[in-house]
Every structure is written in structure tokens, then in C-alpha cells.
Structure 1
Amino acid sequence: MRTVSRLQADLLLLLTAAIWGLAFVAQKSGLDGMGPFGFVGARFLLSTIVVLPLAWREWKGRAGLPAMTPKDWGLMGLLSLAFFAGAYLQQAGMVTASVTNAGFLTALYVVFVPVIGLFVFRHRQSIIVWPACAIAIAGVWLLNGGRLDHLSMGDALVIGCAAAFGLQINLMGIVVRQSARPFTICVAQNAVTAVAALALAGLHEHITVAGIQSSLVPILYAGIVSGGIGFALQAFAQQHTPSADAAIIMSGEALFAALSGAVLLHERLGAINWLGCGLIFAALLLVELYPYAVRAFTRPAN
């Protein structure tokens, strides 16, 4: 498997954030014709198909990879369940939560990742993670106008989604480094999510051809680009970046969502919004430049 540098991995995570930043509108629009279970199932069925060739190629070349242990399979199963919980809770929450609230509350995984990593997995966190988390959350808050709309049950579901994604990002960092199979893991989480969501949609929702047609464009973007390409990039890049740092970089999705709205939808950003953009960018730079600064100051003198 090709080795990439930390900088290259972080740039891939930044690209992931850009892809995800465009997905909130698609997810909200997709609910016009389908229920949450149906949309999540259709979306991740497409995502599974997109990544499957890469996983198949990875599996055929497994002779050079470490053997999968029962612990790896167990963690992959737990990761897949956390991913399904996060994907469904986010989509269900967006039935009543505004796109603004959903974007901010989803970004709370920036806090959940280091907290879960520290208290559940006993991962020591870099000292820069905590101030960078605070700066990133402050930036997302200001980017959303320094306010939240009236909180609803949907908002509570999205907070639950952030916690589930916080667990998933931690598990992804562990499993992908132990197994060196990012695309296999990505297919597993996508497939489990698709099967579970479609089964529950069959029990609790009424899926129609007309509904699928009206949601087709959001399904295609959320499934192929955001769910397929985006999560595959996340899985690949997390082999080379600590989970807490990866979460801060990926929180840039809020920044890209706002910028794309300004460019594509001609939405105007006020001074407070631009300040939020600046803070998010500052958090990303802190995480990216801190390792280089440490090496520079600890380098022995000649």
C-alpha cells in the first residue's frame, strides 16, 4: 500500500470536509420525497457500490497486509453500528432541525472525538487538541451567526449523531491502522448501514418510485460523492493522522458549506460569519503546524 505523508493525509481530510460541506443541503432536500431510513439506505447502498471495487482490489492484495484478527472484526462491527447510528440520527434530526443547526450540532464531534478517545480508549491527546477544539467550535458558532434557532427534538437527535460519529472516528483510527484495509472498512460500514436502514424503511416507511425520483439528485450526491468518495478518503487518511486531529480538520465542512452557499447560492456572509471562518481556519492551521513547530524547537543544536 502506498505510504503518504501526514501533510498529504491532512489535505485528503480537508478535501473530505469540502465534499461533506456540500452534503447538508442534499440531505435536507432528500427528505422531500423519502423518509430518513429510506434516504439513508438508498444513499449508502450507492456508497457501497462505489467503494466495492477498491475494497475488492485491496482484498486481492492482502498477502502484504497484516492478518485480520477477531478483535479487528469485532471493532469493525462496532464501528459499522456507530456509523449507522450517526447517519440515521443525523438524517432523522434534519426532519425538524434547520440546516444551520444541523451543521453546527454535527460539528460537535470535534469535542466528542478527543473526549471519547481519552476516557474510553485511553488515548493521550496532543496538548494542542483542546485549544484547537475550542477555537473550531467557536468558529462554527460564529459562522452560524452566533446563535441557534429554537432547539427541537431534531436538534437532540443531531447531537446524538455527533456522539456516534465521535465514536466512529475513534474506532476508524484504531481499526484502519491495525488492519491497513481502509476501503474494506469503508465498504463494511456502508453496507451495514444500507442493509439496516432499508430493512427499517420497509417496516416503518412507505417508499415510492415517485419519491425516489424526486430525491434522485440528493441521493446521487450524498451516495456517490459524500458517502462513497468522502468516507473512503476519511478511512484512507486516518491511517496517517491522529483521530482528534482528523476531527478538527474535518470540522472544516462547516466552513466549506458556508463558502459554497456564498458562491453557489449567493448567500451573503456578514462580519461575524467571516470571523467564524477565520477561527475555523486558525484551528486547522494549529493542528497542521503544531507538529512542525515541536520538531523545530526540539531539534538538537549542531
Structure 2
Amino acid sequence: MRKYMGEIMLCITAIIWGSGFVVSSIALEHYTPYQVIAGRFLIGFLVLSIIFYKKLKLLNREIIIKGLVLGFLLYLAFVLQTVGLQYTTPSKNAFLTAVNVVIVPFIALLVYKRRIDKFELTGAILAILGIGFLSLQFSTNINIGDVLTLGCAVAFAYQIFYTAKYVKDEDPITLTIVQMFFAAVFSWIVVLAKGEINFSFEMEAVSAILYLAIFSTTLAYLFQTIAQKFTNETKAAIILSTESFWGMVFSVILLSEVLTTRMIIGAVLILCAIMIAETKLSFLKKKSVEKLI
């Protein structure tokens, strides 16, 4: 039951992140990208610390180091994605970021020498193809923005991998708090260094940053960390990759984006990816056995 609870939490995380695409576009009308990142991580850390202040008693040197690693990887991923977006298209940025779903199983192979599960790898490749249909305007031009965004995908892949590794031995809530703290520290160092200290306090701007901070950051990363205690990193990456699908859904509902055949094909491929990774086609094997009997 815990396994399925973890996967449900990952699905909720993907849905929240999907909704974040729409809200981020609103926030970026009032703040710089670096201010958005800094604001969401700082508020996320404060909210988690206030709600789960008793968990701070569990702090020790080991969990602080692990939280530092995760916080750095998380911030690095966001910065590379943000800077990359300045030089490439949003569609390519979204697609290349999602490449992390294929990178994760290879990190596990390199670190643990663990054989790659063929069903999970197939699911990962199908997920990438689905995301390509959802977001990519098929262009072969490669620029510095694409390279930076690919670096973002690598950082996200390592963040997912090390979250799965660390959460096996640590309290997931405490680990998330420490991760948010260090991500916020790195964020504010950059904001102050760039001199971006003027923040808008318009209702629309504040509402957008609060949504991103409380839902897309605090709740989503808390759910991700807890869920990864009960599922492997490759399956987690595949489920989390559905944020592109949910981003499409919210864009169609809230922004009246036109639903195209290409989007439908992408959604079907992502659904197939999850089914293959989750069931390993066991239902087909069962039918084959029944026929033999």
C-alpha cells in the first residue's frame, strides 16, 4: 500500500508542477526569473520550518550535508533552466529538461552497477517521445541555451537519484527542510549579487509567487521526497515527467490553448510509458500463461 501511496504522491506532484507553468508565466510578468526562484525557495523553507518545527530536532551533520547536496542540485537545475530559456525556445527548454527521465536509470547503472530494467527504460524513452510531441517544435538548430538546458536535465536527474538514495536513511520532512534552506541560500546570494532587490507587491504578483512557493515548491518537493522512500528513482522520474502533460491540460483549460493531434499523441505515449514502467506488462504475461493452460 505504501508503494502505491508514494506513486499517488508523485502524480500529485506532477499535477502541481503542471499547473505551475501557467502561474510562472504570471509571476514572470512582475519579477525576474532569479527573484521568482529566490522567493519560492525562501517561502518554502519558512513554511516547512513553521509547520514541522519539531523535525528540526532531528538535524545532524549527516542530514545537513545531504540537504546541502540536494539543495545545490535543485538550485543548479533551476538556474540552468532559467538561463537556458533566455537563449532557446520554451518548447525546447521544456523538452530538454524532461530528458532527465532517461538519464536517471544510467546514473543508477554507473553508481550501483545495477542492470537497467528494460521495461523502465522503454517507459522512459516513450515518456521522452511523448513530451517531444507535447512541447517540441521540431527544429534541429542547437545553441548555448539548449546546452544549458541539457545541463539542467542532468542536475534534475542527479537530484532525483540522490533524493531516492538519501531518503532511505533519513527523515524525508527534515531532509526537505534542509534542501529548501540551502536552495534558498544559493538563490539569495545570486539575487543580491545581481542587485535585484526591488520586489513588486501587487496582489497578482504576490499571489503568483505564493502559489509557486506553497504548492509548486513546498508541497510538491515534500511529496516527492516522501514518495521516493517507497519507489525507485527511474519510476519516480517517469511519473514526474507527466508534468508536461498536466501543463498542457492546464494550458488548454485556463489559457484556452488549442488541443492538437500532436498533443493527443504525446499524452497517449506518456500514459503508455507509465503503464509499461508500472506493470512491466505483467497483464500480458498473465494472459499468455492462461492461453497455454
> TM > 0.5 between the two?
yes
Give the secondary-structure state (helix, strand or coil) at the position aligned to 1:120. Answer: helix
Q: Give the one of 80, 95, 102 matched to 2:71.
A: 80
The answer to whether the aligner puts 1:119 opposite 2:110 as a matched pair is yes
The answer to whether the 8 Å contact 1:145/1:272 transfers is no
Distance 1:118 1:73, change over 3 A: farther
More divergent stretch after superposition (105-114 vs 83-92): 83-92
Gaps of 5+ in 2: none
CA distance in 2, matches of 1:48, 1:118: 33
Give the secondary-structure state (helix, strand or coil) at the position aligned to 1:140. Answer: helix
Q: Which residue of 2 aligns with 1:34?
A: 31
Distance 1:125 1:149, change over 3 A: closer
**Structure 1 consecutive aligned stretches of length 4 or more whose deviation exceeds 6 Å:** 211-214, 294-297
Name the aligned partner's letter for residue 83 of structure 1.
Answer: L
Q: Which residue of 2 aligns with 1:222?
A: 212
Distance 1:145 1:274, change over 3 A: farther
Cα deviations across residues 276-300 of structure 1 (Å, max 9, x unaligned)? 1000011111122228659969x9x
The answer to whether the aligner puts 1:147 opposite 2:147 as a matched pair is no
Q: Give the one of 45, 49, 53 matched to 2:46.
A: 49
| TM-score, length-scaled by structure 2 | 0.87
- Measured after TM superposition, the shift of residue 91 of structure 1 is 2.4
Cα deviations across residues 226-276 of structure 1 (Å, max 9, x unaligned)? 011111100010000100110001100011001111111111121121011
Q: Percent identity?
A: 26
Q: Which residue of 2 aligns with 1:13?
A: 10
Q: Which residue of 2 aligns with 1:259?
A: 249
Cα deviations across residues 8-28 of structure 1 (Å, max 9, x unaligned)? 211110110010112223334
The answer to whether the 8 Å contact 1:24/1:103 transfers is no
Distance 1:287 1:147, change over 3 A: same
Name the aligned partner's letter for residue 186 of structure 1.
Answer: T
The answer to whether the 8 Å contact 2:74/2:156 transfers is yes
Q: Which residue of 2 aligns with 1:188?
A: 178
Distance 1:277 1:155, change over 3 A: same
CA distance in 2, matches of 1:198, 1:141: 33
CA distance in 2, matches of 1:144, 1:44: 26
Distance 1:126 1:42, change over 3 A: same
Q: Give the one of 144, 148, 155 matched to 1:164.
A: 155
- Measured after TM superposition, the shift of residue 36 of structure 1 is 3.0
The answer to whether the 8 Å contact 2:97/2:152 transfers is yes
| TM-score, length-scaled by structure 1 | 0.85
Cα deviations across residues 84-109 of structure 1 (Å, max 9, x unaligned)? 11122222333344332222121111
The answer to whether the aligner puts 1:207 opposite 2:204 as a matched pair is no
Q: How does 1:282-293 map to 2 (within 5 A)?
A: 282-290=272-280
- Measured after TM superposition, the shift of residue 218 of structure 1 is 2.9
Q: Which residue of 2 aligns with 1:242?
A: 232
The answer to whether the 8 Å contact 1:125/1:244 transfers is no
Name the aligned partner's letter for residue 122 of structure 1.
Answer: K
Q: Give the one of 126, 132, 136 matched to 2:123.
A: 132
More divergent stretch after superposition (185-194 vs 231-240): 185-194
- Measured after TM superposition, the shift of residue 177 of structure 1 is 0.9
Q: How large is the RMSD of aligned CA atoms in angstroms?
A: 2.7
The answer to whether the aligner puts 1:89 opposite 2:76 as a matched pair is no
Distance 1:69 1:263, change over 3 A: same
The answer to whether the 8 Å contact 1:105/1:158 transfers is yes
Give the number of equivalent residue pairs: 288
Cα deviations across residues 26-55 of structure 1 (Å, max 9, x unaligned)? 334433333333221111011112222454
The answer to whether the aligner puts 1:25 opposite 2:22 as a matched pair is yes
Distance 1:93 1:206, change over 3 A: same
The answer to whether the 8 Å contact 2:80/2:152 transfers is yes
Q: Which residue of 2 aligns with 1:233?
A: 223
